[in-house]
Amino acid sequence: MTHIIDIETAPLPESELTELLPKFDPSEVKVGNLKDPEKINAKIAEAEAATRKDFFENAALDPLTGRVLAIGLMSEAGSFSTIADDDEAALLRRFWNFCQLNAGRRRLIGFNIFLFDLPFLMRRSYKYRVDVPFNLRRGRYWSENLVDLREAWQLGDRQARGSLDTIAQFLGVGRMNGTGAQFAGLWQTDRPAAMCYLQNDLRLTLEVAKALHVVSPGVSLCDPVGAEIPGLN
């Protein structure tokens, strides 16, 4: 049984992020040939503001400063489902329970899941002491039941470029309808739009998997129903 996977993350609350904000060192700011103290101070203040802005904008990409907001799943037939919960630990347990169903026969496919999705899920699970299936990794290697389409695309060339969006467009299977940076805001203000974005990401990933012959190209998409997977509620 094969499912496409994609996770969406959000930054931790601002109060928590403020506590985690790295200490700014003014001495590391390059002021060039500036001599005027006011201009130097302005340069330092600008650098500090930029550092803070960058930290908050990228918080959702780091398991130390972000959390899992939703996990999207799509079957080979195109059936779309989500796992979401305000209680992140409960969300993670539901996902790992899903992975354990039909253990040994469930295959998960995603784009960049070896460098982002799976490590993020595992590290957030470590925080809550949520059990992670022991068979996900074998030493330095991921289980053969996991497929990262980025690796499939690279064909052994680690320098090969391409995001999901650019590869999908290259293969003629569609394009993204937003960015991951927008997801957390949409999740709070426009849930249908957020679900549409997540569903489209999964559909693109499935179509790329078909084009790369990771799943059967003959599989046709059904109309997504947006139902929860049985047993995950």
Supply the pLDDT for residue 36. Answer: 80
Walking along the chain (233 residues) 10 residues at a time, the average pLDDT comes out as 94 94 87 82 89 92 97 94 96 94 79 97 98 88 94 94 95 90 91 94 96 80 37 34
> pTM for this one?
0.87
Supply the pLDDT for residue 104. Answer: 65
Contacts of 42 by beta carbon, 8 Å cutoff, 6+ apart: none
Supply the pLDDT for residue 220. Answer: 47
Supply the pLDDT for residue 135. Answer: 85
Supply the pLDDT for residue 98. Answer: 92
Supply the pLDDT for residue 232. Answer: 35
Tokens 């398991």 sit on residue? 63
The full set of domains in the chain, from first to last, is 2-7+65-211 (3.30.420.10), 14-59 (no CATH)
Supply the pLDDT for residue 182. Answer: 86
Supply the pLDDT for residue 225. Answer: 34
Tokens 């999705």 sit on residue? 117
